[in-house]
Structure 1
Amino acid sequence: MTRALFIVDVQNDFTEGGALGVDGGDAVAAAITAHLARHAEEYDVIVASRDWHDGDGDNGGHFSTSPDYIDSWPVHCVAGTPGADYDPGLDTSAVTHHVKKGQGIPAYSLFEGVTDAGETVDDILTAHGVVEVDVAGIATDHCVRASALDAIAHGRRVRILTDLIAGVAPAPSQAALAELAHAGAELVATGDGDRPAADVGEGER
């Protein structure tokens, strides 16, 4: 059975000190690196996504000077800037495919991204016969949620690696994990990092 790992948006603007920094983001980067050191060979495909927004314009309403933090946000992850780079604590040497999303439009799911060669994530998974997907990254209540739901919708069996994710806020992160479990995702902790697992009963800690 072939398996993929999704590493969702572990970028400087989403970790501590970034434009939309999430508490625990750096720890997630380090924990994913530890997980890859132990388990990279277990994955046939490792896909890492990045927001890669246009520097000009509002990217289809995604950027706003008065954001609601639901559908609109402050400027972040502009293509080619340090904020769009991977967090330095994330070792990407084992990543097989890098995808960029949100170029001129809002984009949350990793499935909305493409590689520099124009491949979609569904194309990649289908080409490799992937039936199982593990999901890690940032943020639990936004892009992790959207990516995992799309993986389920595309017919893959999904595990959320609960100690390799970080959310924006506890309540919506808890709700996202409950929604994912209801949709059929399995919530599991890897034990590969020092960060405690998110708990569907308690939310992000």
Structure 2
Amino acid sequence: MSSALFIIDVQNDFTEGGVLGVTGGGVVASGITRLLAEHPESYDHVFASRDWHDGDNDNGGHFSESPDFVDSWPVHCVAGSAGAEYHAALDLGPSVIHVRKGQGVPAYSIFEGTRGSGEVVQDVLSRLGVTTIDVVGIATDHCVLASALDALGAGFTVRVLTDLVAGVAPESSAAALERLASAGATVTSSTPRGLRD
């Protein structure tokens, strides 16, 4: 049995100043860096996802010139662009497992992504014997929600660390956390965290 941290989409386009920037994104980036630096033994494996969209098409309707901000969005996190890069305050270290999602299709959950080798996240987790997952990142009410729900649905024990997530709006973020709690996730702060030191 092993543990994993899911760092969801802490990218320039989703943090302050980005195309879809959320308030508190930069604080989340620095907070995750601090967690990893101060508690390096807390997780056996660290996964970090990024939206990595095609720049020459609408990615299956995900991009729109008239977005509804539910199923369609302005152009963001185009592969290789500055907006798709991790926030500068996020220091992941050398052993992180990078996951790219949304390559030509709509994608919200980290489980819809792949490693550079093409290996899907579920297969990586199974191979590594992961049983428990903590989820942090952006946005609480979209990709964090989708990733945590998929983790629960796949049978993992899931915690969402509320001080290390940031959402689009307070109301929808609160509703997302309530939904996750009802689905079986533990919704808690990272401090005190009870993680392995």
Q: TM-score, structure 2 length as denominator?
A: 0.95
Identity, % of aligned positions: 63
Q: Which amino acid aligns with 2:169?
A: A
Which residue is 1:201 aligned to? Answer: none
- On the 8 A contact 1:47/1:97 being kept in 2, the answer is yes
Q: Give me the whole-angstrom Cα distance separating, in 2, the residues matched to 1:162 and 1:95.
A: 24
Number of residue pairs the alignment of both structures matches? 192
Query: Runs of 4+ in structure 1 displaced over 2 angstroms?
Result: none
Please state if 1:186 is matched with 2:186: yes
Q: Give me the whole-angstrom Cα distance separating, in 2, the residues matched to 1:31 and 1:96.
A: 17
Q: Which amino acid aligns with 1:122?
A: Q
Q: Which amino acid aligns with 1:156?
A: F
Q: Which amino acid aligns with 1:136?
A: V
Please state if 1:153 is matched with 2:153: yes
SS in 1 for 2:40: helix
Offset at residue 153 of structure 1 (A): 0.7
What stretches of structure 2 of length at least 5 have no aligned partner?
A: 193-197
Offset at residue 40 of structure 1 (A): 2.7
CA RMSD after TM alignment: 1.0
Question: Which is further off, 158-167 or 34-43?
Answer: 34-43
SS in 1 for 2:79: coil
SS in 2 for 1:172: helix
Offset at residue 151 of structure 1 (A): 0.4
1:28-56 deviation line (CA, Å, top 9, x unaligned): 00000001012232211100000000001
- On the 8 A contact 1:111/1:120 being kept in 2, the answer is yes
1:5-154 equivalences under 5 Å are 5-93=5-93, 95-154=95-154
SS in 2 for 1:40: coil
Q: Give me the whole-angstrom Cα distance separating, in 2, the residues matched to 1:137 and 1:99.
A: 14
Q: Give me the whole-angstrom Cα distance separating, in 1, the residues matched to 2:57 and 2:48.
A: 25
Q: Which amino acid aligns with 2:155?
A: G
Q: TM-score, structure 1 length as denominator?
A: 0.91
Offset at residue 94 of structure 1 (A): 5.0
Q: Give me the whole-angstrom Cα distance separating, in 1, the residues matched to 2:65 and 2:143.
A: 21
Offset at residue 191 of structure 1 (A): 2.9
